[in-house]
Amino acid sequence: MHIRPIHHGDAARLAVLLEQLGFPSTEREVRQRLDYWLGDRASALLGADDEGTLVGMAALHVTPLLEVTGKFGRLAALVVDEAVRGRGAGRMLIGAAENRARAAGCLFIEVNSSNHRFPAHQFYESLGFTDSREDSRRFVLPLQPS
């Protein structure tokens, strides 16, 4: 197993992984998303490759901070194929995201994780993330297309 950048050729496997994450997507839709992800210099799509098969992915976006000097990394998506969970792919993906974020000048990485993803919360805590829900709330403003 090794970590490598995701490319357009991964669209079909990425669609499988996104479905397992709870977001069924067609290969065509994934290709469209790859267009903007791969074209964004502040973003990185990291893949876990097991003998030529994409078995996991982490999506990282680097955001500049203004209130302090530095940036932070947002983990926008993380999933490992059900068939290989518990074998260290998730840990490797987080390690690679950490390295990427540190190199980009990030002070920390944050991730939003829905309440129903309890096993993922244990995963994050085992890797050193702390649950900050007591400190902050998350507000969302849906936007209509212009």
Ligand X SMILES: CC(C)(COP(=O)(O)OP(=O)(O)OC[C@H]1O[C@@H](n2cnc3c(N)ncnc32)[C@H](O)[C@@H]1OP(=O)(O)O)[C@@H](O)C(=O)NCCC(=O)NCCS
Which residues are near ligand X by CB under 6 A? 21, 78-80, 85-91, 111, 113, 117, 119-120, 122-123, 126
CB contact set of 83 (below 8 Å; sequence gap of 6+):
55
Nearer residue to ligand X within complex by CB, 41 or 138: 138
DSSP-derived secondary structure for 112-138: ---TT-HHHHHHHHHTT----TTT---
Smallest distance, ligand X to C-beta of residue 107, A:
21
Nearer residue to ligand X within complex by CB, 15 or 111: 111
Nearer residue to ligand X within complex by CB, 35 or 131: 131
Nearer residue to ligand X within complex by CB, 84 or 105: 84
Smallest distance, ligand X to C-beta of residue 81, A:
8
69 within 8 A of 36, measured Cβ to Cβ: no
Smallest distance, ligand X to C-beta of residue 66, A:
26
100 within 8 A of 46, measured Cβ to Cβ: yes
Nearest-CB residue for ligand X: 90
- Read off the tokens for 73: 């990394």
Smallest distance, ligand X to C-beta of residue 89, A:
4
CB contact set of 134 (below 8 Å; sequence gap of 6+):
none
